[in-house]
Structure 1
Amino acid sequence: MVSKRGRLDQFIARTLQISKKAVRNLLIDNKVLVNGVLAKSPDLQIDEFTHVECNGVVLRQYEKQYFMLNKPDGVVSATIDEQHPTALSLLTGIDHDMLHIAGRLDLHSTGLLLVTNDAKWSAALMAPQNKVAKQYIVTLANPIGDDYIEAFAQGMYFEYEGITTLPAQLTILSSHQAKVVLREGKYHQIKRMFGRFRNPVVALHRVSIGEIVLDNTLLPGQFRSLTKAEVDCIIQH
């Protein structure tokens, strides 16, 4: 989703179905408030979160929203799907208008999913140049060896895309389980990396994105709003 910026006069004219000349008259007559302040300039830039009032009527009052969801298995990271329940459908009691998913998970992957209506924030979260770390707990079908650690740290060449993955950190937790930290998100990257060892991924669970850690009090399918500190830690990247 892209942040929607534009001129104040264009927004009012479109919303009220009036001419730009009529909008200018409203501005001259002190009838327009932008974020609680009298607006004078017709070319003032506003976005989807700018509070706009005209003649005492609120024309726009969206607030920024940020949620973490503990995604269960079998839920798609999408807004609409005809076959499976969607992540947004789990956010009960929330207005879904403008909400989108920042950093998707596969159908059978579980764990931390972030949902927001703030396009700038999600763009910062997913921008490749920011290299925001994402941490996963991975369960494998076969035992894991120490040779996996060096292979992940060196990066792997993906012939289909013609790229070499960034160095990834792998920590062995048990014979069949590892913690993996990525700073990118190529298509099915973790499954493909373990695939080099002919070791199928049985379960993939995301526990953190940057400094945002999945709340361990959230059961699968439950969600909560992010704290200000959690929101700001992404903006700082």
Structure 2
Amino acid sequence: MEEKLTRLNKYLSEAGYCSRRAADKLIEEGRVTINGTVPEMGTKVSENDVVAVDGEIVKNKEVKRTYLAFNKPVGIVCTTDTSVEKDNIIDYINYHKRIFPIGRLDKPSEGLILLTDDGDIVNKILRASNNHEKEYVVTVDKPISQTFVKRMSGGIYLEDLDQTTKKCKVKKINSHTFSIILTQGLNRQIRRMCEYLNYEVTKLQRTRIMNIPLDVPVGSYRELTSNELKTLNELLSDSTKIHKSHIQNTNKFSSNRRNRKH
């Protein structure tokens, strides 16, 4: 019987140690060993190999995965580097096992962020980041005009990122507050968009990620329900299909252009 081999970064993510992206970084830094030897990127391991990070053995065994919905308070940083940032999300939650946040939410912002020990789902969500919805409620420093709503929803060119935001759904809630649904995750995107229109964000709260709503008090968390997890995986599966289809269409278009040139 042929021995089952798994890429090292996937092994670490399936063991619940970290995401694949974080695993790649650990491997590049030479902090991971296989049977006492520092491996190359892309190395595969078997069930009989001994994998360690910083000398600590990582066991890849079937475990019950954790999926949390957390209402992050203002001032907490979405990092697992507890040695550098004292106001980090890991120490704040103080969960009984190793977990890590999926994506980020700025320090001055509050609201929903997901945490897990399932590196595979982290990889899927980050890969599909330009396809799934994230909803926010935002308060700004002056009255919201119809021009503001129209320009925010139509796409804004952010010069420092050299990128135009995708069209999105914006709805005025009251004189200084609006909701916005994004399918894009640019750095400080909402704050940058508001700044471009000479508005300053005074409060920003994420209220939904895909099918997961924010329904716990600030500073609290809950486990995702089995139905939420099922729907989430279905949405991620659809996003992956769209992503692969887009790549295939892009490659086909590029090939046709090259053929026309010849």
TM-score (norm 2): 0.66
- 1:104-125: CA deviations, max 9, x gaps? 1111100101001212212222
Q: Please say if residues 101 and 113 of structure 1, whose CA atoms lie closer than 8 Å, have aligned partners that are also in contact.
A: yes
Q: Please say if residues 157 and 165 of structure 1, whose CA atoms lie closer than 8 Å, have aligned partners that are also in contact.
A: yes
2:161 maps to what in 1?
161
C-alpha deviation, 1:49, in angstroms: 9.2
Aligned partner of 1:103: which letter?
G
Larger Rg: 1
Gaps of 5+ in 1: 16-47, 51-59
1:65 maps to what in 2?
66
Q: CA RMSD in A?
A: 2.4
Q: Which runs of structure 2 are paired with 1:1-237 in the superposition (5 Å)?
A: 3-4=10-11, 10-14=46-50, 60-81=61-82, 82-96=84-98, 99-128=99-128, 131-215=131-215, 218-237=216-235
Which has a greater percent of strand?
A: 1
Give, in whole Å, the separation in 2 of the partners of 1:135 and 1:156. Answer: 18
Aligned partner of 1:157: which letter?
Y
Question: Quick one: percent identity of the two aligned structures?
Answer: 26
- 1:108-155: CA deviations, max 9, x gaps? 100101001212212222324651100001010111111122212221
Secondary structure (helix, strand or coil) at the match of 2:65 reads coil
Secondary structure (helix, strand or coil) at the match of 2:111 reads strand
C-alpha deviation, 1:220, in angstroms: 1.5
1:53 maps to what in 2?
none
TM-score (norm 1): 0.73
Gaps of 5+ in 2: 1-8, 15-42, 52-57, 236-262
Which has a greater percent of helix?
A: 2
- 1:191-220: CA deviations, max 9, x gaps? 0111122110001000000010011xx222
Q: Please say if residues 136 and 208 of structure 1, whose CA atoms lie closer than 8 Å, have aligned partners that are also in contact.
A: yes
How many corresponding residue pairs?
Answer: 191
Q: Which segment drifts farther, 118-127 or 206-215?
A: 118-127
Secondary structure (helix, strand or coil) at the match of 2:91 reads helix
